[in-house]
Amino acid sequence: MRAGLLAREVVQKLLREPFVVQTRWANASGRSRESRHYAFVETGGKNLADLLVGQGLARA
């Protein structure tokens, strides 16, 4: 629970700066035949997910 609250604070701080959202359609892995919509967020030229993983606030 504490890690989630810390992750929220980190994301709020990071997204105060300009950021870019890139969206993609991709085939869903697993049983579904439906396509899924994915979003990738970059801030400061770095992937938001990678930043969170690097700080131990998310898992790859």
The pLDDT assigned to 53 comes to 95
The pLDDT assigned to 27 comes to 74
Provide the token pair at 15.
């997204």
For 12-57, the pLDDT digits (tens) are 999 999 999 999 887 767 777 777 888 999 999 999 999 999 999 9
The pLDDT assigned to 7 comes to 95
The pLDDT assigned to 1 comes to 76
Burial of 25 (0-12, 13-18, 19+ CB in 10 A): exposed
pTM of the model: 0.77
15 touches 42 (CB < 8 A): no
Residue 10 has phi, psi (to 5 degrees) of -65, -45
